[in-house]
Amino acid sequence: MPDLLVGGRSVSVAHNANLLDSLLEAGINVSYSCRAGSCHACLVRGVSGTLHDIKPDALTTAQRDQGWHLACQCLVVDDAEVEVFDAARDGIPATVHSCDWPSPNVLRLRLMPQRPLRYSTGQHLSLCADDVIRPYSLASLPGEDSWLEFHIDCYRPGAFTTMAKALSVGAQLSLGQLHGAALRYDPEWQDRPLLLMASGTGLAPLYAVLREALRNDHQGPIRVLHVARHPTEHYLKPELGEIAKQHDQVQIEQVSSTDLSAALAELRLVPRQTIALLCGHPDSVECFARHLYLAGLPRSQIFTDSFLPHA
C-alpha cells in the first residue's frame, strides 16, 4: 500500500485510491466542491513521489509545471508527499472594495487584489476564506474595471455564502487559481448574431462578455435572456437597461422560471449564424442547448459553462 505524506503525517492508502477521498478519510482538511475537476477547489501540490492525473488537461501547463494536481481527479499509485493548497501561502491577498445586494439573494462583491491580476473574460477565480475555497465567475471586464467583480448566489445556505453575507468594506480574502475560459468573445464574430442565455448568477460572465463585445464594436444583434426564480432576482436590470438604451442592437429579455417555456418556444426563430453562449445551473444550460440544437443551431456554435453544485 502506498504511503501518503501530508503536513508531516504519513497515511497508508490503497493503490489507485482517489487522492481527495484518501485525504478526507484521514481527517485532513482539504477544500472541495464539484468533485468533477471543474471548480479547482481541491488543489494540492505534489512535493515528491508519483500521482496519476485522470484529467491532466484540467490544469494548465504552467500549473502542472508548478506541481499542482486536482485531488478529486488524482490517483495515488506510489509513495507520495503532497501539500494542500494554503491560501496564506499560495493565494493572493485581496481587500473588499464594495459589497451590495442588487437583489434579495445576490451579493455583488468587488475585490481589490494586492497585486494586479491578469485574467480573461469568462474565467473563474477561486475565492478563499476561513479554509473554504469556492470558484466564482468574474463579472468584471479586464482592462476596464479596476476591481474584480463577483455575483454570489446566497439563496441556498453554505459555508462560503454564510461567510460572504458578513463581509464589509475593508475585509480581507485570498484569491486562488484562475481557470476556465469556456465563455469569451471572439472578434471574428463581429457581424454575427449573439445569443447570451443565463440562469441565476450565470449572468455574471455573460455580463462581461456583453461588455467585451460592445467594446470591440460588435455590429450584429445581441440578445440577452436572463432566467430567474422570481422577477426580483433580475439583479442587473438597471445596468442592462442602460446598455440597451445606448446600443440599438442589444435586446434584453428577463423572464421568471414559470414563463421560461414560452421564451424557449421562440428559439425556433434563431438565425442559423447565431453564436450562443449559455451559463448557469447544469439543468438550465442543458435545457437551453437542447432547444437551440432542435432549432437548427450547430453544436459548434453553442458554448456552455455550467455552475456545478457543491458535491
pLDDT 10s digits, 129-173: 877 888 999 999 999 999 999 999 999 888 889 999 999 999 999
Q: Is the predicted pLDDT of residue 180 greater than 80, yes or no?
A: no
Of residues 60 and 202, more confidence is placed in 202
pLDDT of 59: 86
The reply to whether the predicted model has a pTM over 0.85 is yes
Letter for the amino acid at 211? R
| Cα–Cα dist 284/203, whole Å | 12
The answer to whether the CB of 73 falls within 8 A of the CB of 43 is no
pLDDT of 251: 96
At a CB cut-off of 8 Å and minimum separation 6, what does 239 contact? 207
pLDDT of 45: 92
pLDDT of 241: 96
pLDDT of 203: 98
Element at 25 (helix H, strand E) = helix 19-25
Of residues 147 and 8, more confidence is placed in 147
| Cα–Cα dist 264/49, whole Å | 52
Average pLDDT, the chain: 91
Distances (CA, A) of 89 to 30, 82, 244, 257: 15, 14, 44, 43
Letter string b/e over residues 22-43, b meaning 16 or more CB atoms within 10 A of that residue's CB: bbeebebebbbbbbebbbbbbb
Strands of 43-185 (E only): list them.
43-53, 68-70, 74-84, 92-103, 106-113, 124-129, 132-137, 148-153, 172-179
User: What is the average per-residue pLDDT within 28-44?
Assistant: 84
Per-residue pLDDT reduced to its tens digit, 38-65? 888 889 999 998 899 998 888 888 888 8
β-bridge mates for residue 93, sequence order: 174
The answer to whether the CB of 3 falls within 8 A of the CB of 26 is no
| Cα–Cα dist 92/90, whole Å | 7
| Cα–Cα dist 272/300, whole Å | 11
At a CB cut-off of 8 Å and minimum separation 6, what does 156 contact? none
Q: What percent of the chain has pLDDT over 90?
A: 68
At a CB cut-off of 8 Å and minimum separation 6, what does 310 contact? 33, 34, 134, 158
pLDDT of 69: 92
User: What is the average per-residue pLDDT within 72-87?
Assistant: 91
Give the residue carrying C-alpha cell 466564482: 136
Per-residue pLDDT reduced to its tens digit, 253-304? 999 988 888 778 877 778 999 999 999 999 999 999 999 999 999 999 999 9
User: What is the average per-residue pLDDT within 5-20?
Assistant: 89
Of residues 34 and 200, more confidence is placed in 200
Per-residue pLDDT reduced to its tens digit, 259-268? 888 778 877 7
Nearest alpha-carbon partner for 74 in 48, 47, 42, 30:
42
String of DSSP letters for 28-63: -----S-SSSSS-TTEEEEEEEEEEES-GGGS-HHH
Per-residue pLDDT reduced to its tens digit, 224-255? 999 999 999 999 999 999 999 999 999 999 99
| Cα–Cα dist 145/124, whole Å | 16
pLDDT bracket for residue 311 (50, 70, 90):
low
